[in-house]
């Protein structure tokens, strides 16, 4: 499980995230996205947030889920620090139910705030399943 930053994007941030399981992949991708926002601040009171996303393919599900995280950051003003998932299949679609804990961004802004992601680019997005797990590459529009 982990992630690394790539030099593939000129004005945006390119990321490669991986995990042995879908849960590890989504967690790695989510952590990488929020590291773009800033370094995780010292432990503060956490707020809970939950949402579900569905899509026909795991690749689409991950992209939609990352974009939903950006919406949560903007709308609820949260830096997501802890991720919990449940994957289901419903009406021929994959569903990820997410329960997360976040730190209010007003606290975050005094702790190493970097940039404000706007979305996940469709261009350059890929997800591959290998024997060792999953690898996703994506570009964060900043």
For domain 2-141, the CATH architecture is 3-Layer(bab) Sandwich (3.55)
In this structure, what token pair is assigned to residue 87? 């994957």
What is the C-alpha to C-alpha distance for residues 74 and 77, in angstroms, rounded to an integer?
5
Give, for all 142 residues of the chain, the pLDDT tens digit.
888 887 665 668 899 999 999 999 999 999 999 988 887 666 676 899 999 999 999 999 999 999 999 999 999 988 898 999 999 999 999 999 999 998 887 755 555 667 788 999 998 899 999 999 999 999 999 8
User: Which residues, including other chains, have CB under 8 Å from residue 91's CB and lie 6 or more apart?
Assistant: none
Quote the radius of gyration of the chain (alpha carbons, Å). 14
Domain edges within the chain: 2-141
């Amino acid at each position: 499980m982990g992630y690394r930053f790539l030099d593939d994007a000129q004005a945006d941030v390119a990321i490669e995230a991986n995990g042995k399981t879908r849960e590890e992949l989504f967690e790695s991708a989510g952590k990488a996205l929020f590291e773009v926002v800033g370094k995780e601040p010292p432990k503060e009171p956490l707020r809970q947030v939950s949402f579900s996303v569905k899509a026909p393919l795991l690749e689409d599900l991950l992209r939609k889920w990352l974009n939903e995280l950006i919406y949560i950051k903007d709308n609820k003003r949260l830096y997501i620090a802890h991720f919990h998932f449940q994957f289901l299949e419903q009406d021929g679609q994959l569903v990820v139910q997410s329960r997360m804990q976040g730190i209010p961004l007003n606290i975050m802004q005094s702790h190493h705030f970097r940039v404000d992601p706007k979305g996940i680019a469709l261009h350059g997005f890929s997800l591959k399943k290998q024997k060792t797990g999953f690898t996703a590459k994506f570009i964060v529009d900043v």
